[in-house]
Structure 1
């Protein structure tokens, strides 16, 4: 897919002075050109879909493929190029996607995740205890990302998968490289290889001693019966490790900062904790941290709202734009924790690829944000918002660091 005149690149930068808002270009495109062409870093182009209804239409249509090996798929560094090795089922289509996803669906069902709530609360309380004891709070603040936002989802997913938590720095470092929009292809490939080798060793060790965890059950129930291979288990591990901590960690950081800057809403949640579930849905809509996808490629000609997308043409779905669509969410730039339809956001995607771990993410956000509001009512940023390093260089938006004091 090439054009004689290259279209404008994919918008990724938030407006100046508005770090919580999606790129300003999305608002204009939703109104004037909701389906338009966008340039990609490799010189190719894809369709950019910015309106809520069209986003759901694309994500709910099986004629749009998630398979990164299909000709025309709009690749980015985090998709892993066209490699078939350790892709994970989110980069596959039915029936293989359906078969593999079903193997772990039960692990993330609402009832099972709710049973984890006391353990998530315990881990959160322990980390908050450590924050209270932390030195240097008065000087430069405590980094909320390092002290709480990253450790909670990392501890939880490590526990669920049976990954030694001592290894969490390994997969956090490698994930950071894989999700960066600025590192070189060589650096990204080196990180991908190191993660693959680490997971290969992990799965080999668990094959000898499976344990009562997700990877252990996959080995006993699926690998030993011939349904999947060693490499399939490693692909499950890669997908769940990355998806299980990076996105939630960044949502925790952004949500905490949002509530610190909105004391009226924070106090409302302190006075009525029952509002937290709805607040989390609104925060997910408001922030939409996946800033350049998801992505698809048409496997046959498809018409979306009068636009013909031909077979082999790629599509980039602008989730942050859909969640700020004023025809669906009135006053979309305002955080309203009582918004009646906030749960209809597409922050977790839509269709058969809707986020598998969304119930877990919701519980983690509810527990962590509720605990912060209760235990640190005076918490505030330790630096001006202009000095907070936002992740404009990453595929998943958030804060690289968030110094706080109280």
Structure 2
């Protein structure tokens, strides 16, 4: 096939079309229709398989012959640097389920729902501070970052006074342009910080997630290193993804006043549906979920050989017209629960109940309390994060 010849293999990741920052790169749609399982070339010259259709991605994400081990030589890495895992999300069985189970209770749906009053207070307080501050303001700094940071700090037991420290370092880790040395330094700072905090929790436990991990270290269920890596993962994942989703979806809704009116005037069920539809439409994880085959896998008329890398761009699956009618428009009344923004299978995002709750409360609160919210700059000047592994906005000037 021509797609397998050296000079025809497209580079990945791909660029979005100018003026269409909410849409995936148009090349993905072309491949999904005409060549849904094809080779792409990564930064290091390797040529893993790119899988663009929703059904094929789901099949691979639940296939036990597909590995998520980030330390393996066959894993298609996102950027240069040492081969290291990001706690359990970059592991296979038996380590993955062993470690994941230790946090499952903290993100159980009922337990997360019990957090609703606390999340509502955080959102209301952030709206209050934003309204009392300068107008116009940057929604990212005034609202989108503080909300999930306050929530995850409270859940973990991390002092919010240190939020600038962990936000600055996590930004280095998720920026595609960071050098290996910069990533190593940022990772080291976060690990040292959380290792010290876990040691303090062992000496003086509280009612928080880090104290729970510290207790498991004392009980011999976890090593101190494993507990620290899990804490780093929860801290980064707990604020970075949700913060970017808040700012990006706010801008998307401000650009679509009819859908915004549905959300602002609708009930809680509309808000719940809107969360999944906006997750589907925007899919903020960049660079595709990465895997490799441990055995030969036949799928979509192709054979992925053992040891070959696999890249699964969820933004392509979430715009698949075989699954979602008119996928390139927002429809807050559609059922989009089958989206893959949280992944699928055993590695499906553990924190999705908390992310859904935060977004639902944000959407039901922000647009009702600030009904005149509007961009304070031209759309063409809004700085999008095209250089990161998590898509979003560097800033969003707004007025009301």
By the TM > 0.5 criterion, same fold?
yes
Give the Cα separation in 2 of the matches to 1:355 and 1:160.
17
Give the Cα separation in 2 of the matches to 1:176 and 1:402.
17
Aligned twin of 1:383 = 377
Give the Cα separation in 2 of the matches to 1:370 and 1:271.
9
Aligned twin of 2:73 = 71
Give the Cα separation in 1 of the matches to 2:190 and 2:5.
36
Which deviations, in whole Å up to 9, do the C-alpha atoms of 1:58-89 show, x marking residues without a partner?
Answer: 111121111012221001239x64136xx300
Aligned twin of 2:342 = 348
1:125 aligns with 2:124: yes
The answer to whether the 8 A contact 1:11-1:25 is kept is no
1:85-164 map, 5 Å:
87-135=86-134, 137=135, 141-164=136-159
How many residue pairs align between the two structures? 396
1:334 aligns with 2:335: no
The answer to whether the 8 A contact 1:55-1:317 is kept is yes
Aligned twin of 1:52 = 54
The answer to whether the 8 A contact 1:300-1:312 is kept is yes
Aligned twin of 1:227 = 221
Which deviations, in whole Å up to 9, do the C-alpha atoms of 1:285-343 show, x marking residues without a partner?
Answer: 00001121210011111111121111111111010000000111010001001113x11
The answer to whether the 8 A contact 1:70-1:297 is kept is no
The answer to whether the 8 A contact 1:298-1:313 is kept is yes
Given candidates 365, 370, 380, the residue that maps to 1:371 is 365
The answer to whether the 8 A contact 1:46-1:316 is kept is yes
Give the Cα separation in 1 of the matches to 2:149 and 2:376.
25
Residue 297 of structure 1 aligns to a residue whose secondary structure is strand
Given candidates 45, 64, 69, the residue that maps to 1:62 is 64
The answer to whether the 8 A contact 2:9-2:41 is kept is yes
1:128-207 map, 5 Å:
128-135=127-134, 137=135, 141-207=136-202
Aligned twin of 1:23 = 25
Residue 36 of structure 1 aligns to a residue whose secondary structure is strand
1:358 aligns with 2:357: no
The answer to whether the 8 A contact 2:199-2:214 is kept is no
Aligned twin of 1:83 = 84
The answer to whether the 8 A contact 1:75-1:81 is kept is no
Give the Cα separation in 1 of the matches to 2:71 and 2:230.
18
The answer to whether the 8 A contact 2:172-2:186 is kept is yes
Give the Cα separation in 2 of the matches to 1:404 and 1:117.
27
The answer to whether the 8 A contact 2:76-2:290 is kept is yes
Residue 14 of structure 1 aligns to a residue whose secondary structure is coil
Give the Cα separation in 1 of the matches to 2:358 and 2:139.
15
| Superposed displacement of residue 90, structure 1 | 0.5
Which deviations, in whole Å up to 9, do the C-alpha atoms of 1:22-44 show, x marking residues without a partner?
Answer: 11111000011101111111121
Aligned twin of 2:13 = 11
Residue 343 of structure 1 aligns to a residue whose secondary structure is coil
Aligned twin of 1:276 = 271
| Superposed displacement of residue 349, structure 1 | 0.1
| Superposed displacement of residue 3, structure 1 | 7.8
Given candidates 224, 234, 240, the residue that maps to 1:246 is 240
| Superposed displacement of residue 346, structure 1 | 0.4
| Superposed displacement of residue 261, structure 1 | 1.3
The answer to whether the 8 A contact 2:82-2:180 is kept is no
Aligned twin of 1:210 = 205
Structure 1 ranges of 4+ moved more than 4 A:
2-6
The answer to whether the 8 A contact 1:73-1:297 is kept is yes
Residue 316 of structure 1 aligns to a residue whose secondary structure is strand
Residue 39 of structure 1 aligns to a residue whose secondary structure is coil
Consecutive unaligned residues of structure 1, counting only runs of 5 or more, are: none
Give the Cα separation in 1 of the matches to 2:273 and 2:40.
34
Aligned CA-pair RMSD: 1.5
Give the Cα separation in 1 of the matches to 2:328 and 2:84.
39
Give the Cα separation in 2 of the matches to 1:144 and 1:163.
23
The answer to whether the 8 A contact 2:74-2:307 is kept is yes
Residue 45 of structure 1 aligns to a residue whose secondary structure is coil
The answer to whether the 8 A contact 2:43-2:79 is kept is no
- Once the two structures are overlaid, the 10-residue window that deviates more, 180-189 or 358-367, is 180-189
